Amino acid sequence: MNTVAAQPPVNVTDSHLYLDGIPHDRFAALRAQPGIAWHPYGDPTDDSAGFWAVTRHAEVKEVSKNPEIYSSALGHTNLWDLEADALEARRSLIDTDAPDHTRLRRLISSVFTPKNIRRWGDLTRSVVDDVLDDFEAADGGDWVDLVAAPLPIRVILAILGVPIEDADYLVELSNYLVEGTGDEQSLPADAFGNTTELRLLPFNSPASHAMFEYGARLADLRRHDPQDDMVTMLVQAEADGEKLSASEFRNLFHLLIFAGNETTRTALSHGAVAFAEHPDQMQRLR
């Protein structure tokens, strides 16, 4: 793979870039640049301050297969660099390389049996039907509020075994986590009873502390009172005599709740906009 150290044609970290929607033309310009592009930020005199922008499928595949060169465990970019202790404190599946990544995948994949996946598929379809029925009964409305936001979190909670009455709380925490990627936060550092340094928490947010605490409580409940849900399966999962540690479980729980919720909500929202702007594609889908 060739690499280029030249300034990329677009600053993907500039929030103003996204004010008028997804800048597809700018992304196309970035993909047209050969190799992978070094994207500097922060101190202009520090050659290590930045990240590689991997923008094409072939390069993503190559990077994913070469952890010795392109490591997830040795560095992590959240539009800022993480110190070693901060990375270790928040380390999850996406922040590891083999052999730790292989061990975690082996533990977690034991839960995703064909039988469980079929059952979760049925559960997902049931939740989708309920959400869309409610949307239709309300004669439509705000797609984000009534469909895109509640749908993914309800599916995730149902699969994990989280009480549905906690959905609003976990959505609130997820919203605060997104906010944590910006320059300012509306939460004080000690919100939700947090006493951990913010730099040691995902998204530098006390909402991560709250999500960690919630996940730990639920895991403890399932250890003492197992249920037919994913949390029970994860705390019981064992491979080669090993189980998920407390920190591995809490970071995995955080990842499952946030990554599956916020990203799917955003994809559903952008998908609705795309279909509205391109009705011919909606017609093809129908």
Q: Do 47 and 129 have their domain in common?
A: no
Q: What is the Cα gyration radius of the chain?
A: 21
Can you tell me the distance from the alpha carbon of 180 to that of 193, in angstroms, rounded to the nearest whole number? 17
Query: Minimal CA–CA distance to 170: which of 153, 149, 152?
Result: 153
pLDDT band at 5 (very low <50, low <70, confident <90, very high): very low
Q: Do 47 and 123 have their domain in common?
A: no
Residues 189-221 have pLDDT tens digits of 999 999 999 888 988 899 999 999 999 999 999
Q: Do 64 and 113 have their domain in common?
A: no
Q: Which domain holds residue 40?
A: 3-70
Q: How many domains does the chain have?
A: 2
pLDDT of res. 199: 87
Q: Do 259 and 187 have their domain in common?
A: yes
Q: Do 128 and 17 have their domain in common?
A: no
107 near 238, Cβ under 8 Å? yes
Q: Do 121 and 261 have their domain in common?
A: yes
Residues 231-272 have pLDDT tens digits of 999 999 998 888 999 989 999 999 988 888 888 998 999 999
Residues 88-140 have pLDDT tens digits of 777 888 778 888 888 888 888 889 899 999 999 999 999 999 999 999 999 99
Q: Do 263 and 133 have their domain in common?
A: yes
Residues 159-185 have pLDDT tens digits of 999 888 888 888 888 888 877 655 566
Q: Do 169 and 266 have their domain in common?
A: yes
Asked whether the predicted pLDDT for residue 40 surpasses 80, the reply is no
Structural domain includes residue 181 = yes
Q: Do 198 and 263 have their domain in common?
A: yes
Domain boundary among the residues 22, 49, 70 is at 70
